[in-house]
Each structure stands twice: as structure tokens, then as C-alpha cells.
Amino acid sequence: MENNQYPFVNLPLPYDYDALEPFIDEKTMRLHHDRHLQTYIDNLNKILESNDPSLRKLSLERLICGNFRIPLADREAIKNNAGGIYNHRFFFCGMRPDRTRPGGSLKKAIENTFGSMDHFYIAFKKAALSVFGSGYAWLVKRHGDLKIIKTVNQDTPLCQGCCPIITVDVWEHAYYLKHYNLRGDYIEDWFKVIDWDTAQLNYESNKK
Ligand code: MN3
């Protein structure tokens, strides 16, 4: 991942703000990327600036999963803000406007694990709907097996030995302007902008 160390910067989206219309609206994408993600970046930089300089050499993953050099008092804030950066980048880069289709070894693995693509979508939607409060639903690979998991707030699957493949942000700020309280409708729309090519690369690169 680019820009994996202090100073963290807000990398531009790999598509225009309005590119995911009509599924994800432009205003949501602007606020989500330019304000929500920016805040995590600013907060993390600020915490690192006021800490031991050696922390500035740690990768985003190390900051999330912990390191003996991180002072106890800052551990939670560092984990949350670094997680906010990691999760948002992963989520934004996992979508694209020109519709891709599941294929290759990932599609086969999904069909083997869940029975069919349709069964996978049903199970994924159910998991994403059942995230209580704010968090994410993920398709991950763990010990070679595919699994759908949920994380709360800005926790990530990284420290649980999981390799993330796709994720959906189900914090209300990700959908409220367009879908109001209808998280299920948002998830259905998000299905249409999943970047399955990137998902396949994630699946292959994480192969153990
Ligand atoms: Mn978000």
C-alpha cells in the first residue's frame, strides 16, 4: 500500500467523486473521503508528531496491531485512527464504476464455500445488516478458508491473522444521505460497484 508511514496523506480516490452514481452518491463520497478519512489522517499525524520519533517509522499495520514502543496512553487512539485510514482506503479502493464480475479462483472459492454467488450475497448482506452500530463487514481469507466476518468501529481483521478481500463500510455516514436508514438498500447498491478485479488480486496476493 502506498503511503504506509508517517506523514500520512489523503490519497485521491481512484475514480471521480460522482463515478459511483447512482449507487453511491457524489456528496457522500466527497464527505466520506475529504472529511471523514481526512480526520483520521490528521488525528494520527498529530498523535505521532507528539510522540517518540521512532513511532513515525512504523507501518500502518504495525500501528494498528500494536508495538511495544507505542505508549499505553496512546494505544487506543493510534489503533482507532490508523484503523480508520486502513479501512477507508481498503473500502474506497475496493469499488469501481465500470462493472466488474466475479471470476477466476476467487469465484470458485466463493462457490465452494457458500454454495453459489447468490448464497454468498445473501450471507454477506445478512452479516452487514447485523453489524450493531458502526463497523464493517468483510470477506476474508483465514488459514486458506473464506469467511465473512464483522468488525466494530475502526477495528480491522489484520490483527486476527485474516487477509481482507472485500469490505463494506456500514457506518451511517457511508449511506445516510442517499439511503437514509435503509442499510439493506445501500448494501444492495454497493454490491453493484464492488471491484471484483481488485478482490481477485487481494485473494491471490494473500494466498498462503
Ligand atoms: Mn466511513
For ligand 1, the distance from its centroid to the CA atom of residue 170, given in whole angstroms, is 7
Tens of pLDDT, residue by residue over 161-187, are 899 999 999 999 999 999 999 999 999
- Cα 112 to middle of ligand 1, angstroms: 31
Could you tell me the pLDDT band of residue 1, with boundaries at 50, 70 and 90? low
What are 69-105's pLDDT values in tens digits? 899 999 999 999 999 999 999 999 999 999 999 999 9
- 20 CA from centroid of ligand 1 (Å): 16
Could you tell me the pLDDT band of residue 2, with boundaries at 50, 70 and 90? Answer: confident
Using alpha carbons, list the distances in angstroms from residue 43 to 73, 114, 154, 166: 15, 39, 14, 26
What is the chain's mean pLDDT, rounded? 96
CA of 115 to the centre of ligand 1 (A): 30
Q: What's the 172 CA to ligand 1 centre distance in angstroms?
A: 8
Q: What is the pLDDT of residue 208?
A: 40
| Cα 106 to ligand 1 centre (Å) | 26
The CA radius of gyration of the chain, in Å to the nearest whole number, is 17
